[in-house]
Amino acid sequence: MTQSLTIPRPDDWHLHLRDGAMLQAVLPETARDFGRAIIMPNLVPPVVTGADAAAYRDRIMAALPEGMTFDPLMTLYLTEATDPADVRAAAESGLVKALKLYPAGATTNSASGVRDFDKVRPVLEIMAEIGLPLCVHGEVTDSDIDIFDREAVFIDRVLDPIRRATPGLRVVMEHITTSNGVDYVKANDRDLGATITTHHLIINRNHILVGGIKPHYYCLPVAKREEHRLALRAAATSGDARFFLGTDSAPHLDHLKEHACGCAGCFTATNTMPLLAHVFEEDGALDKLEGFASRNGPAFYGLPVNAETLTLVKSDTATAFPAKIDTPDGPVTVFDPGYPVHWSVQ
């Protein structure tokens, strides 16, 4: 028996596309299913200025295969040297849709991130004034804070003070991984949203560590206890418009993940929509997938819902997703949920 679900073409509100050969290899995996994506700026060197973002957008469009349509929504990497006038111009031209805040040292290529939040205050003021969202990697980096507590501590010590000091600042808590993140969003009904990844709806920390270390399940923020995964599932499938899809699909070459010091990131661009259909169906919430993947994100960013549609079909046979995507520098492993999935994109 075949079941199907047609939704407006979804968007990915948090995506790593990288550059060069990797960009070429992974872009079609997203553009096949998604209309738009918020493009993370953590290249080496990072995308800091409006000019950097314009050049990166051109490289993305040049890498898009013939016949595919995709609209990359560009972001700037907030540094202590970011020029408020450049931010204003890049936003007002329509090129830049958000700024990204990485606490320095929090994750991949975050060395240029913010150490002293007072130094970025003028930029945050401009953003509040023009309504430009701040996408936040919400983890403290203090060595004395346990990695599993870093999101909860960030909310108390950094995020809440920033929001109180900057009324009107629109914030997206990126890739929330805890019930603390869910609760903070729910307790604040203005100017706050959160993205949730596909993989954090599927794995908890046991999946990374039990029965041998699984480098392809390691990402940042690291997956937490089961009770947190369940809180994320409840938020994503609730229909609450403050929660929307941001895959954080983050490709790394296999040899750099299967390594003594493996990189953080799960690559989910290839199979995200079928995996989400499985998750939402499992929770009796297939009717909420459209909001999570196609409607809530555009509403937060003040953009129209995509006019095209995407159809997901469920069949009796399990879908055979590719295990890896090839790049000239080696393969990238596609996220494996660890169970059969019967949904696919038509």
Q: In 3D, which of 169, 117, 170, 118 has the Cα closest to residue 141?
A: 117
Instruction: For residue 86, report the phi and psi dihedrals to the nearest 5 degrees.
Output: -65, -40
Q: How far is the CB of 114 from ligand DOR (least distance, A)?
A: 14
Q: How far is the CB of 229 from Zn ion (least distance, A)?
A: 18
- Our CB check for Zn ion shows the closer of 86 and 248 to be 248
* Residue 248 designated active-site: yes
Work out whether 12 is an interface residue with Zn ion (CB under 5 A).
no
- Give the number of other CB atoms < 10 A from CB of residue 156: 12
Judged by CB under 5 A, the number of residues near Zn ion is: 1
Contacts of 126 (CB under 8 A, 6+ apart): 84, 87, 88, 132
Contacts of 176 (CB under 8 A, 6+ apart): 138, 151, 182, 185, 194, 195, 196, 200, 232, 235
- Our CB check for ligand DOR shows the closer of 12 and 248 to be 248
Measured CA to CA, the distance from residue 212 to residue 53 in angstroms comes to: 40
Could you give the dihedral angle defined by the CA atoms of residues 304, 32, 61 and 299, in that order, rounded to the nearest 10 degrees?
A: 20
Which of Zn ion, ligand DOR, none binds 127 (CB below 5-8 Å, type-dependent)?
none
Q: Which of 11, 52, 248, 254 is catalytic?
A: 248
Work out whether 248 is an interface residue with Zn ion (CB under 5 A).
yes
Q: How far is the CB of 219 from ligand DOR (least distance, A)?
A: 3
Beta strands 309-314 and 3-8 are: antiparallel
The contact set with ligand DOR (CB under 6 A) reads: 16, 42, 107-108, 137, 219-220, 248, 250, 264-265
> Which window, 122-130, 207-215, 245-253, 324-332, contacts Zn ion (CB under 5 A)?
245-253
Q: How far is the CB of 248 from Zn ion (least distance, A)?
A: 4
Residue 35 per-residue DSSP state: S
- Our CB check for ligand DOR shows the closer of 137 and 288 to be 137
For Zn ion, the binding residues (CB under 5 A) are 248
User: Which residues belong to the active site?
Assistant: 248
